[in-house]
């Protein structure tokens, strides 16, 4: 069966999303009805939460109002809740607005929405966690309670602690059945809740850091993977390959704080999994092991099966180092892409406009999209950017993507600055982080796969957008500057320049310079 026509885009997927869907709403689905809110003017409100001097207020507007704090513009009193609205529509304190609703916590006396039994969400979270964790004189548990209760959005912490898995873990800690130690967490059945809690404890200093977490997760995955393999030469062969080819390299890579181990460990898992499938097929089909693998077997295996089998390439080439006879060398051909997924310059400009204008999408996502569309920075490197990579000076804003800062255009610098001042995902457990794009797990950056999925809300296909941006950049900027500004290798820039027919005479100087350095080194 022939492949569907691609329309010159290198893929059967549409080149871009013409009308991106609304981003999915976070939290519980909103109920609808036939009532009208006098503040947001929605006419499909299911229930009016409260009636204030400016009219009927829906639940969403009530929550927004009770979470707005600052200096009241009418009485100039600082640090007040500003739930009301004056004649100019500005938020004002409840006294100036004439609001009589009880908005003071009965326990701590702070202005806040009453969450349960007259108490605010922070006091409720503190009460519930104290009952679960039974801290006594344990300083670490008291600190955990304080960290969670002091989150900017304690209502989300309340929801988090009521989850069945989380509640089970917290109860086990409170009953002293689960010690706050890495070896105790390692013995638990793997779950998102356990890893999330472990990350929270490490981020806030209640568990010691133990190196990059992706490496630790890979080591646990590898142990489980090896245990599941047939107890014959297959397990031994894969263990040698996984340890000497992948694990050693990962540990060396982990020494570089700028390395994104998420993508590297993902690739390692693919290669180990496919190598194991090859050896299992070899034993089942031909009754031989890795020592008897020949090129004919490799060709037979690759000819009949899914495209994922191409990931055996590194394994069969690694086997060559274990064999003393050159005549028995193996190889698996590298499969180059037959086409390069690409969008047009017009589509790229439209996507930049989406990032600038679509305010219904969060600022963090729009900034990430602009970094991709303007500088072709890969997603696995975008998520690794830290706050200090973005610098503001009297001459303008710069962003450090390679070895030399790149100027941020004035038209988008204000958007970048707003994001830097308040990155997303810092209202619950991932507080006080210096990642420019924090993830939902404490101390972690956003996962590149998550970013790729979210960018679709802006109509951005990351691979096509990056290829298109590089195509345009190699036309407009000399090779040496691109390497310094973007952090790409000369090989990658050369490849994209060759596709566009760009003259690359300056690469002669680059290669000559590298050869000179090696000679003098």
Residue 349: how many CA atoms within 13 Å on its side-chain side?
A: 4
Q: What is the residue extent of each domain of the chain?
A: 33-97, 121-203, 213-328, 345-430+446-520
In angstroms, rounded to a whole number, what is the distance separating the alpha carbons of residues 123 and 116?
A: 9
51 versus 430: the higher-pLDDT residue is: 51
Of 455, 482, 309, 484, which Cα lies nearest the Cα of 494?
Answer: 482
Q: Are 151 and 144 in contact (CB under 8 A)?
A: no
Highest mean pLDDT among 11-25, 112-126, 309-323: 112-126
Mean pLDDT to the nearest integer, 77-96: 94
DSSP structure string for 225-287 = HHHHS-TTHHHHHHHHHIIIIIIHHHHHHTT-TT--HHHHHHHHHHHHHHHHHHHHHHHHHHS
Average pLDDT over residues 346-360: 90
Tell me the pTM.
Answer: 0.72
Predicted confidence band of residue 520 (pLDDT cuts 50, 70, 90): very low
| Residue 426 token pair | 């810092």
Q: How far is CA 257 from the centre of its chain?
A: 17
Q: Do 289 and 237 contact (CB within 8 A), yes or no?
A: yes
- Strands (DSSP E) contained in 154-224 are none
506-520 helix and 490-500 helix, angle to the nearest 10 degrees: 160
1: confidence class by pLDDT, cuts 50, 70, 90: very low
Residue 48: its H or E element? strand 48-52
């Amino acid at each position: 069966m022939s492949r569907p026509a691609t329309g010159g885009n290198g893929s059967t997927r549409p080149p871009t999303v013409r009308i991106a869907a609304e981003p999915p709403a976070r939290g519980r689905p909103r109920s609808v009805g036939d009532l009208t809110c006098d503040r947001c003017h929605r006419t499909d409100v299911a229930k009016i939460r409260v009636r204030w001097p400016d009219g009927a207020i829906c639940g969403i507007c009530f929550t927004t109002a009770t979470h707005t704090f600052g200096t009241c513009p009418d009485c100039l009193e600082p640090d007040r809740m500003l739930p009301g609205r004056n004649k100019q529509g500005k938020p004002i304190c409840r006294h100036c607005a004439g609001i009589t609703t009880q908005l003071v916590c009965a326990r701590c006396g702070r202005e806040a929405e009453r969450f349960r039994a007259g108490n605010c969400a922070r006091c409720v979270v503190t009460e519930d966690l104290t009952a679960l964790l039974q801290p006594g004189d344990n300083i670490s548990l008291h600190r955990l309670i304080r960290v969670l209760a002091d989150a900017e959005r304690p209502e989300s912490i309340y929801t988090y602690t009521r989850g069945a898995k989380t509640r089970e873990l917290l109860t086990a800690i409170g009953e002293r059945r689960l010690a706050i130690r890495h070896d105790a967490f390692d013995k638990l059945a793997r779950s998102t809740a356990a890893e999330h809690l472990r990350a929270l404890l490490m981020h806030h200093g209640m568990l010691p850091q133990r190196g990059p977490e992706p490496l630790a997760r890979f080591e646990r995955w590898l142990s489980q993977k090896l245990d599941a393999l047939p107890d014959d030469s297959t397990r031994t062969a894969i263990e040698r390959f996984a340890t000497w080819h992948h694990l050693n390299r990962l540990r060396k890579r982990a020494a570089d704080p700028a390395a994104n181990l998420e993508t590297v460990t993902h690739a390692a898992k693919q290669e180990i999994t496919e190598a194991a499938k090859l050896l299992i097929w070899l034993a089942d089909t031909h009754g031989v092991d890795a020592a008897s693998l020949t090129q004919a077997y490799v060709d037979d295996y690759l000819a009949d099966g899914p495209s994922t089998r191409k990931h055996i390439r590194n394994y069969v080439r690694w086997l060559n180092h274990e064999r003393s006879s050159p005549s028995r060398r193996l190889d698996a051909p590298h499969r180059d892409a037959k086409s390069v997924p690409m969008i047009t310059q017009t589509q790229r400009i439209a996507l930049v406009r989406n990032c600038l204008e679509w305010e219904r999408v969060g600022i963090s996502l729009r900034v990430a999209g602009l970094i991709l569309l303007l500088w072709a920075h890969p997603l696995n490197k975008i998520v690794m950017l830290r706050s200090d990579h973005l610098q503001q000076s009297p001459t303008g804003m710069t962003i450090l993507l390679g070895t030399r800062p790149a100027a941020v255009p004035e038209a988008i610098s204000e958007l970048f600055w707003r994001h830097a001042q308040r990155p997303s995902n810092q209202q619950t457990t991932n507080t006080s982080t210096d990642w420019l794009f924090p993830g939902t797990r404490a101390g972690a950056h956003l996962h590149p796969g998550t970013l790729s999925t979210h960018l679709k809300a802006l109509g951005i296909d990351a691979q096509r957008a990056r290829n298109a941006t590089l195509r345009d950049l190699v036309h407009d900027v000399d090779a040496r500057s691109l390497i310094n500004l973007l952090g790409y290798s000369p090989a990658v820039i050369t490849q994209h320049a060759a596709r566009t027919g760009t003259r690359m005479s300056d690469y002669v100087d680059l290669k000559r310079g590298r050869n000179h350095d090696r000679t003098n080194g």
